[in-house]
Structure 1
């Protein structure tokens, strides 16, 4: 078993190195796209999606190891270059003319240049692997969510998954720019980054759409310092996460849910660090939106607890509606 694990790790390492250099490899196109867009998107069966998530996790972990390795190498080369530079400068400052001394200084300069080039190359390799050192809590969270959903998913129905590892303050996620309410000349950029979108169908034919959107805003402008100079200031602030769960269900099976519309909100039980931001109920669908506090926006376990509570709460309502539907028949 240890040999098999080591072999799989070696295969992942080879794939990662080829992926970094843009080589053609036998790997799903969805994984190769990570190198350019840092987005995984696919519609496939449960097993295929979970296998890809396992590969993403392995690639990210290996990229982190390689990043640290080449980062340490770069530090070593530059420290050696600094020491060798001091030695070279000390020797070259000696005024005694000597053929041997001149050769020694020349060789030291060659060594110095070689160390600098090696350090730059190590930095280049480090930054390449750094790009695939993905946000850990995101893929680990989705693996956890997929494991939870997999128990009740319809085997014959494909799952759609879009998982982004991009930063929330990227320009494409800016939705609005507002003037600062009390700082003259300052502005506020609003960002909304939907980094998760999962669509699927359960055994009871209920369709679900689960999304997670990262909210943030950046304040920026010029501030006069004590010396009288205007300095540009910028501050990024998290607005937390917005988690949305949309269920579309059979009207015949769960149609009585409309009789419970006034009681649905009381049935929603979510963790204290989350707040219900929106709830809409009809005889065909339910839409629940929850906001997670900024301090837990990157906490895998807190986000998972919220998602689990949302599914359980809505299905508690559906199960009660199912019982009422049977009674009215």
Structure 2
């Protein structure tokens, strides 16, 4: 079933249980919707600027009514531009889901649907606020934005769960600048948590729980990513990682330089690569159970003193 854009615009939350191909088609539609919203806001900004310029020109020519009408139009366009901010979706979010689904599509069970919940509402939406407090002279607002939950099943029967949560804080205070005027100062800081989990049948991976002590040895993550939690149980493994540096500064995928001599400033976090490495690390933990298990039909060496 195709994406109902009118329903989506009510909450800006995309939720679906469908085959991968259908979800990818919906994400493409979201991208087109976002592109149109971006163009519309750009046109509003240009229109407002043009109206201000024309208003000043007609004011010089003593065309008072026309100048006032153009100025009012400019103000109206600015108000519309501000109110339409929520329609400009964050490209990274639906882009990350699309990239990961395309990357994992070959390994996912073709007959099993994926469950996706993607929250594209602004990160500082009122419903995401979890607390307001005052720290010194700063007025602070804390937000928790659990914007992605994805469930799927691989062809080998392993169940995948991926989630992304962003925690961030907005700060503001009024202070007197060097000129003596009162100014509003603002700050933002936050972090991004990625969690990947695999659920398996215990009989396929005997002794999985015993791998808990050595599981960290199998983890391979980029240097800037911090492993915050690793859980190993009889029927599941899960990993939580914290994106390093400014955790909210990430890209879907780093672009490769066009030539070896090209100077490239790499962003701190390549989110799709981090998720892929987390998933591969978890499969390394699962694989350790087979490496330690005795081969079928192989006799166990006799215990000492049994002879």
Q: Say if 2:288 is the partner of 1:320.
A: yes
In structure 1, the gaps of 5 or more residues are 1-25, 89-107
SS of equivalent residue, structure 1 residue 261: helix
Q: Say if 2:262 is the partner of 1:288.
A: no
SS of equivalent residue, structure 2 residue 206: helix
Q: Is the 8 A contact 2:148 2:165 kept in 1?
A: yes
**Cα RMSD (Å):** 3.0
**Alignment size in residue pairs:** 280
Question: What is residue 44 of structure 1 aligned with on the other side?
Answer: 18
Is the alpha carbon distance of 1:281 and 1:328 closer, same or farther for their aligned partners in structure 2, counting shifts above 3 Å? farther
Question: What is residue 252 of structure 1 aligned with on the other side?
Answer: 203
Q: Say if 2:94 is the partner of 1:139.
A: yes
Question: What is residue 91 of structure 1 aligned with on the other side?
Answer: none
SS of equivalent residue, structure 2 residue 210: helix
Q: Say if 2:116 is the partner of 1:161.
A: yes
Question: What is residue 92 of structure 1 aligned with on the other side?
Answer: none
Q: Say if 2:71 is the partner of 1:112.
A: no
In 1, Cα distance between equivalents of 2:278 and 2:27: 23
In 1, Cα distance between equivalents of 2:73 and 2:175: 42
Question: What is residue 278 of structure 1 aligned with on the other side?
Answer: 229
Question: What is residue 157 of structure 2 aligned with on the other side?
Answer: 205
In 2, Cα distance between equivalents of 1:38 and 1:323: 46
Deviation, 1:269, is 0.6
In 1, Cα distance between equivalents of 2:19 and 2:46: 41
SS of equivalent residue, structure 1 residue 273: coil
Q: TM-score, normalised by structure 2?
A: 0.79
Question: What is residue 129 of structure 2 aligned with on the other side?
Answer: 174
Larger radius of gyration: 1
Q: Is the 8 A contact 1:85 1:112 kept in 2?
A: yes
Q: Is the 8 A contact 2:2 2:26 kept in 1?
A: no
Q: Is the 8 A contact 2:12 2:121 kept in 1?
A: yes
In structure 2, the gaps of 5 or more residues are 254-269, 298-307
In 2, Cα distance between equivalents of 1:117 and 1:177: 36
Quick check: which one's helix share is greater? 1
Q: Which moved more, 1:268-277 or 1:146-155?
A: 146-155
Deviation, 1:232, is 9.0
In 2, Cα distance between equivalents of 1:295 and 1:58: 29
Q: Is the 8 A contact 1:34 1:132 kept in 2?
A: no
Deviation, 1:225, is 8.0
In 2, Cα distance between equivalents of 1:309 and 1:114: 58
